[in-house]
Structure 1
Amino acid sequence: MTFKVGIIGCGSIATHRHIPEYQHNEDAEIIAYCDIVKERSDELAEEFGGTSYSDYHELLANSEVEVVSICTPNYLHAEMTIAALQAGKHVLCEKPMATSLEDADAMIQAADNNGKMLMIGHNQRINEAHQQAKKDIADGKLGKIYSFKTTFGHPGPEGWSVDGPDSWFFDKKRAFIGAMGDLGVHKADLMRYILDTEFSEVGAMIETSAKKADVDDNAVLILKTENGIIGSLSASWAYNGQEDNSTIIYGEKGILKLNADDVDTYQFFGADGNIEKKQLGEIQTNDEEGQKNSHTIDAFIDALSENKTPICDGREGRASLNVIIKAINSAENKTITQV
């Protein structure tokens, strides 16, 4: 079965990731593009074929469209996702899934009420090294887990966004949160996934020090899980010179380093002196060569084809958003916050 796809929002995340990934999936065909700047959707429709829209409601009224990707600024995610689900479309929504827990709940309810799939684009779950780590931890390779450090930082979205320094990423009304929403929510989701547990407490320090913006560009979170694992999460738009997308997990039987090395993306240093290194594929980056490593669309289409729960459904996306929202509360109130 070939799923007919509509793209809502034709900026960088769509043109660099969603569109090429759909094009490489033999079970998907993009037939519609929509952007408020219609020249963008016009160009894509002319280049690849399909219909161009400037009003997403018109795209959703196209009965041929079965699946949509929501690739718009954060504040539009809930509105557009709910409308798409109510129109009978399956939805892949970019992260963070919403700008409030209430909106996230409404999105989940819309998916349930209409019997349609909602997947959130937390692609770090799909990375090979992260998949291996999840399996190894579940199998007891590290023994009891004590702590972790996870980081996601790069120079900022102005080099990535189609609007450059004028990007919506820097506008609180449209973005809601900055580096924490762009990068930190990925790592909150990843640690929940790998450790297979929920966070119970968060303490956060958040700053805007590197960009002319009214959202955060540097954040450091201290997190504690329900079963007593403590760790740190850093998200930054001020890592100039080299992106850092690494995770280190400290356990009873050794240390696991994930995507901390450009070649050996999986490294295990055993307490007994044993060292294990594997090349398990590269993590996706904003660099041109790093665009091909997501497999998010493949995971979405596979879930649709097999009628199974996607790797990150709405409830999982909400739980990860909740961590970030509680981190904001922690920073504002200067106190440890219950998650």
Structure 2
Amino acid sequence: MNNLKFAIVGCGRIAQRHAKHIKNTQGSELVAVCDIVAAKADQLGAEYGAKAFYTIEALLENEDIDIVSICSPNGLHANHSILSLKAGKHVLCEKPMAISVYDCGEMIKTAEKANKRLFVIKQNRYNPPVNAVKNAIDSGKLGKINSVQLSCFWNRNEDYYKNSWKGTKDLDGGTLYTQFSHFVDLLYYLVGDVKDAKAFGGNYCHEGITEFEDTGVVILKFHNNAIGTINYTVNSYGGNMEGSLTLFGDKGTVKIGGQYLNELEYQKIENFSIDNLPMGNTANNYGQYQGSMSNHDMVYENVVDVLLNDGQITTNMFEGLKTVEIIDKIYNEIEKNG
């Protein structure tokens, strides 16, 4: 196999980024795109010399595809992934893996049955400070992590949700799924799995605009006995303010901050210092707003390495499931307390 032949399902904003990185990653080529809005598929296809399809069923009949990148709305990730896996294709699924724990389980079962890979995008793991802190934790430099504080203070205005699937329960799922699932993933990645959650949420500035909360506060108890909080909102006035994660270990304290977990803002560690961090990529820019740091290039390099060179997968489907499980616990609490 010379090059991996990619297809993209869903030709919205994030698909542009995927197409660019497929083109720029050695060992990969974009051969097909799909969207139920024909003009979107035609435009992306023409830009990258890929064949345009208007249904996923028609796309999957094309045997020339090795792997499908799922860039459709959150609520369609499970269905589109399962159809692709059943058709004998590998899958790279955008975050979140799905918006229900059950759907994640079905995706995993289908991948196992088809003996195909299911990759889940968690690009914030590649942020230089995140990578450095992970290495410090794994090598015992911070000692035991006792507590953690996650702050997600972004802005998503009415225009963001206008004429879009975003803001709906069925296709979006909630603020933690669309805006902050990467941040929740980092809690799992750096601290561990969550045993229990208590939470409150409210829709303060998006009544009639979104079908779910725009703000939440969460208390977490991890299986390793660490405790933590999440304070999140999309009501930061006028623009994104902060995305930060502070970890308190018995041998050190670190804060990864900036707007997108892209800066090491504070460190005090026993007989150790994190130095000479490389510059990270810039944030994803979507015109009127910005999102998490753009590390999709590293995601695609890993996919190619795994499928062509038997490399090690950086984010597998079970970790994708864990993020959804944690968010599901939080949302059950918000519903209960609403």
TM over 0.5: yes
1:227 paired with 2:230, answer no
CA distance, structure 2, for counterparts of residue 263 and residue 72 of structure 1: 25
Q: Which residue of 2 aligns with 1:62?
A: 62
Contact 1:7 1:32 in 2 (8 A): yes
Q: Which residue of 2 aligns with 1:193?
A: 189
- 326-335 or 67-76: bigger deviation: 326-335
Q: 1:13-162 to 2 correspondence within 5 Å? A: 13-15=14-16, 17-156=17-156
Q: CA deviation at 1:99?
A: 2.2
Secondary structure in 2 matching 1:257: strand
Q: Which residue of 1 aligns with 2:246?
A: 248
Q: Which residue of 1 aligns with 2:323?
A: 320
Contact 1:202 1:222 in 2 (8 A): yes
Percent sequence identity over aligned pairs: 29
AA at the equivalent of 1:235: Y
Q: Quick one: which of 205, 209, 215 aligns to 1:210?
A: 205
Contact 1:268 1:276 in 2 (8 A): no
Q: Relative to 1, partners in 2 of residues 1:19 and 1:262: Cα closer, same or farther, differing over 3 Å?
A: closer
AA at the equivalent of 1:95: K
Q: What are structure 1's unaligned runs of at least 5 residues?
A: none
1:299 paired with 2:294, answer no
Q: What are structure 2's unaligned runs of at least 5 residues?
A: none
Q: Relative to 1, partners in 2 of residues 1:262 and 1:88: Cα closer, same or farther, differing over 3 Å?
A: closer
CA distance, structure 1, for counterparts of residue 84 and residue 149 of structure 2: 37
Secondary structure in 2 matching 1:36: coil
Contact 2:101 2:321 in 1 (8 A): yes
Q: CA deviation at 1:25?
A: 0.2
CA deviations 1:168-200 (Å, max 9, x no partner) are 11111222x2211113322221111122x2111
AA at the equivalent of 1:285: A
In the comparison of the two structures, how many residue pairs are matched? Answer: 329
CA distance, structure 1, for counterparts of residue 171 and residue 336 of structure 2: 23
CA deviations 1:140-173 (Å, max 9, x no partner) are 11122121112334212766x6xx5222111112
CA distance, structure 1, for counterparts of residue 188 and residue 219 of structure 2: 14
Q: What's the RMSD between the two structures over aligned residues?
A: 2.5
Q: CA deviation at 1:134?
A: 1.1
Normalising by the residue count of structure 1, what TM-score does the alignment of the two structures yield? 0.89
CA deviations 1:3-47 (Å, max 9, x no partner) are 0000000001111x2111111101110010101111011011112
Q: Quick one: which of 260, 263, 266 aligns to 1:265?
A: 263
CA distance, structure 2, for counterparts of residue 104 and residue 235 of structure 1: 24
Q: Relative to 1, partners in 2 of residues 1:96 and 1:166: Cα closer, same or farther, differing over 3 Å?
A: same
CA distance, structure 2, for counterparts of residue 155 and residue 34 of structure 1: 30
Secondary structure in 1 matching 2:52: strand
Contact 2:124 2:293 in 1 (8 A): no
